[in-house]
Structure 1
């Protein structure tokens, strides 16, 4: 059944005097990847000084561990340029890693024990020490193994002209920024309702090395192959499931996305409410802290959500304070596995799909979402994570049992309409081409990333780790052979030098003790 309201909105937006309103979508990518030795083991080397300071570098930093790199592209309107810049960051980084390579999948390589995973270090400043202590807390709360998982974050903001036009169409009279914030929350609600589709199409972690479990019991029906690899026959994105970025204490949080005040209140409650579970962690025998505090969340970044509302923060400002000050500026999609078939972990086709999908989420009606509906969306995601490629899989849509293939076909019919609108606005045919291609994946699950990955992995006769290692070697060779296209080695070298100087200045400008600094931060 086609969506009449969506058709009507798209017809109005497609009128000649309205069409340019959506032009100017801004995007940025953050890609995480582990540094691996030539023996296929986690690197134990510290972050290279030739890559600059992980605290202050614009493009190259670290996430949880010294070995987990994070690459950041500048925010801009040209997707193809964004990917070229991401390639240049990869090329430069690999040129400074000697015999190391970059892991090309989300689930980690063989790690004998979590103590091999060294926490990221950011220098002696109060800010740097706080970042490391936060990671210490994550280790003591969830274990380091979960933190060795890598993903790709996709940041997107729609141009103000798009929101102005939508506000006009809806006869909405509130302040523009209030309308924008409310609209981004509507996008988030629709994203969560349909998140299972992202996992189905782009989930690329159906297999893992058995060392990841560290002897933990699991009820998942894993099948084994090779020396120590496990997979779910119909799995898509184990990273998004119970084995990945989950936190049982967080499941009780009442963070809703119906209005900005309630969202901020939910987050603030989590960072100020003591947790009995984490209170038991205590300190080290020498009195050193094991975590920033005993609250449900140490800081806001600990909230594991597949999508977040964001605003760029001022110095010393918490994310929720930035949102309270200026409203929502952009959204961060955190649900993407590393794409093993791309040397940079994400493809132009995925970026185009996300443009269409998120525009659809902005234009489709988005009723308020109850806690029960959020739970239903989570249950749908879990079903697809574990069994997404089962042709008989049934999901719950508005409380009714619906086959994944039926719901997927309905969604792609709507996405095709949105793609046509974006094609007209951007004077291209790439959006429609992308949607037409990916719509075939609903019918044939072997075309999905997880389907392709499992068929290539099993055909290779290799263990999961050995197969991923072969991809990593091929990508390293590719980058060594190609030239820089937008950013140069000199630009990176200068940024590395500048970032190290910035770190020194931050360290020299500290005037209070670390304990005082923390007390001020949490005051």
Structure 2
């Protein structure tokens, strides 16, 4: 199949969705201690903690339209929070602000039919601690155009197998996505038990994707041969007591069914794939650059066209370690164990893959922009964020949050005194 012929249809008929987590904070830069202010709005949910707002977009058929919709909702939310009687701001970073103690991180309180969600969060807090749960990110959901799946079905290839193959390939290439989109090189020292207000910087480009991020206590291995095998390999960790449920498997890529996300429903068919390794980009009002979303779409098509990888146990574990290594800073010092069994400098390997993408898909601005990031490290988001916010993480973050809400520091202070 000539994958180039599917580029335009994918950008106009594919399914695209985003779930973006953000912390609500006080004007002074602490996690908000108030209850979730949006009730049961399905578009504005909570994640682990009560202050951790999750903006969930609908399905769009164009990446740029999707990013615009997210940006519009994000600005609307930021203005609402700043306009409350007790004003709050939408924190612009993946990493949290000052944490006076773990008690600042209030576990999300669900009641009634959803009360089990709070039980589960209490379990996570006991097992992993609350701090790592306060890290925020973006999940990107993608589904192929129906015409593409129909075409494959005529060739005897099922949609489930295509998505499963793509998930396996994405695991191997997850390091590339982290290297190109990492945007959380700064951390308040209180996160690591240090003095609030001091800054930890220059170690990771993405803390949440690094080896210090939010991971299971073991290295998971999945079976990508068929959907039943895939589900059985996840259930194994539940049955052996390593996981509370399959939702506790912290993995960079997930396959999702239509409607309620349950493994039993996945047996009925895969609806879309979810990429979970994206940082919030504080340089953008939307939290993500639309060019990055276009690049990810092109990467998905590129990987779709590549042969099945058949990752062994060892290669799956190396893939996860590569991803964590790619979250280090700076990238010039990172080397990865690639599929040829050799170590390669990350920039060299990234440029080789990006060049092959252009060979397979043709020239695209979204790919060119990623090449520029690798060739000029100053273009990487982590470098730009270090330059802009490295001297004042909390103050700079609050200024950026006020900018998003369209309110001045003086007006916010005045409102808080009323």
**Is the structural similarity TM-score above 0.5?**
yes
Question: CA offset at residue 347 of structure 1?
Answer: 1.9
The DSSP-based 3-state class of the residue aligned with 1:391 is helix
The DSSP-based 3-state class of the residue aligned with 2:307 is coil
Decide which of 412, 434, 437 is 2:369's aligned counterpart. 437
Does the 8 Å CA contact 1:419/1:435 hold for their aligned counterparts?
Answer: no
1:89-488 maps to which residues of 2 (within 5 A)? 89-97=73-81, 98=84, 99-123=87-111, 125=112, 127-166=113-152, 172-173=155-156, 179-214=158-193, 227-233=197-203, 235-248=204-217, 250-251=218-219, 253-274=220-241, 296-314=242-260, 319-324=262-267, 326-387=268-329, 389-398=330-339, 399-420=341-362, 432-458=364-390, 461-462=391-392, 464-477=393-406
Does the 8 Å CA contact 2:188/2:197 hold for their aligned counterparts?
Answer: no
Question: CA offset at residue 119 of structure 1?
Answer: 1.2
Question: CA offset at residue 452 of structure 1?
Answer: 1.3
- Could you tell me how far apart the structure 1 residues matched to 2:382 and 2:39 are? 35
String of CA shifts for 1:200-237, please: whole Å, max 9, x gaps. Answer: 1111112211111136xxxxxxxx9x95111135x321
Does the 8 Å CA contact 2:139/2:274 hold for their aligned counterparts?
Answer: yes
Structure 1 residues 183 and 262: alpha-carbon distance in aligned structure 2, compared to 1, 3 A threshold? same
- Could you tell me how far apart the structure 2 residues matched to 1:69 and 1:142 are? 20
Does the 8 Å CA contact 2:210/2:325 hold for their aligned counterparts?
Answer: no
The DSSP-based 3-state class of the residue aligned with 2:326 is helix
Does the 8 Å CA contact 1:38/1:100 hold for their aligned counterparts?
Answer: yes
- Identify unmatched segments of 5+ residues in structure 1: 1-8, 216-223, 275-295, 421-430, 480-523
Q: Is 2:28 the partner of 1:39?
A: yes
Residue 63 (structure 1) aligns with = 47
Structure 1 residues 404 and 130: alpha-carbon distance in aligned structure 2, compared to 1, 3 A threshold? same
- Identify unmatched segments of 5+ residues in structure 2: 409-418
- Could you tell me how far apart the structure 2 residues matched to 1:29 and 1:298 are? 26
What's the RMSD between the two structures over aligned residues?
2.2
String of CA shifts for 1:77-134, please: whole Å, max 9, x gaps. Answer: 03233223223322332343221100111111111111121111222x1x31101111
Does the 8 Å CA contact 2:331/2:347 hold for their aligned counterparts?
Answer: no
Question: CA offset at residue 148 of structure 1?
Answer: 0.5
- Could you tell me how far apart the structure 2 residues matched to 1:207 and 1:242 are? 16
- Could you tell me how far apart the structure 2 residues matched to 1:357 and 1:20 are? 14
Structure 1 residues 366 and 236: alpha-carbon distance in aligned structure 2, compared to 1, 3 A threshold? farther
Which structure's CA Rg is the greater one? 1
- Could you tell me how far apart the structure 1 residues matched to 2:161 and 2:62 are? 26
Question: CA offset at residue 478 of structure 1?
Answer: 7.7
- Could you tell me how far apart the structure 2 residues matched to 1:19 and 1:341 are? 28
Question: CA offset at residue 381 of structure 1?
Answer: 1.6
- Could you tell me how far apart the structure 2 residues matched to 1:257 and 1:144 are? 32
Does the 8 Å CA contact 2:221/2:317 hold for their aligned counterparts?
Answer: no
Question: CA offset at residue 156 of structure 1?
Answer: 0.4
Does the 8 Å CA contact 2:4/2:360 hold for their aligned counterparts?
Answer: no
Decide which of 63, 67, 92 is 1:83's aligned counterpart. 67
Task: Give TM-score, length-normalised by structure 1.
Answer: 0.73
Does the 8 Å CA contact 1:21/1:165 hold for their aligned counterparts?
Answer: no
Does the 8 Å CA contact 2:98/2:197 hold for their aligned counterparts?
Answer: no
The DSSP-based 3-state class of the residue aligned with 1:240 is coil
- Could you tell me how far apart the structure 2 residues matched to 1:64 and 1:443 are? 38
String of CA shifts for 1:467-489, please: whole Å, max 9, x gaps. Answer: 2222112111189xxxxxxxxxx
Moved over 4 A (4+): 18-21
